[in-house]
Amino acid sequence: MSGDSTLRVGFVYPELLGTYGDRGNAVVLVQRARWRGHPAELVEVPADAPIPTGLDVYLLGGGEDDPMHLAGAGLRASRGAIGRAVDAGAVVLAVCGGFQLVGHRYVAADGTVLEGIGLLDLETRAGPTRLIGEVVVDPEPPLPRLTGFENHWGRTTLGAGVAPLGRVVTGGGNGAGRVEGARAGRVLGTYLHGPVLVRNPALADRLLADALDVRALEPLDTELEDRLRIERLHAGTARGPRRWWRDRLLARG
């Protein structure tokens, strides 16, 4: 955590990597810290500004192709600052496009290469079909089953020393090996939108505990969050006519 007592949660490039409501991840972390009596602030880092080293959490969201290239250039320019922050104990959550950018590279269908910043040892290539829909993932205990929504072309291959976030129960995930996401130390990447920390309070608290550098957090009343999580888990594991109707609606766009 940074030198003062305020938890600084940074949402990086909101105008480029905020397409799918992933700013909600920052809001969740700040609010769950405040509910427990920890001062916290949301710091938005605009695309025309250098990324500071003094944040406790760095959040990257999803974006379309052109914004992704702009975001990639900015991230590469600030690679040193981000690396120093991670070495000092900062937490990184990178979602979808942000997940691809914290790897080594993304190779588009036409062969165009978008270089990443190499925080995680992984590479992504565009697949032949778009992976879209509800996803259910079983992570390593003690985290409970996770729920999210994916919408991407990527097929992500993990390198040595990088573990998946979890095993895919339903959905596409990384598109290879029936796994989803990646984690190494305090850096976590995932394709799960939703936003993922709104849907999965236990994952939010896992990241929050790391950012605050504490073993455990005081429990909160999570009745509303749990109701959302259970409803989305049911949607993600739908079978038969329910699954057919859901997939038909998604195919219509």
Catalytic residue IDs: 96, 193
As given in the structure block, the two tokens for residue 108 are 């588009």
User: Which three-class secondary structure state does DSSP give residue 69?
Assistant: helix
User: What is the C-alpha to C-alpha distance for residues 53 and 88, in angstroms, rounded to an integer?
Assistant: 9
Which of 135, 174, 183 has the alpha carbon at shortest distance from 156?
A: 174
As given in the structure block, the two tokens for residue 131 are 């992976």
210 residue type, one letter = D
Which of 108, 100, 66, 109 has the alpha carbon at shortest distance from 191?
A: 100
User: Which three-class secondary structure state does DSSP give residue 120?
Assistant: coil
Q: Are 201 and 133 in contact (CB under 8 A)?
A: no
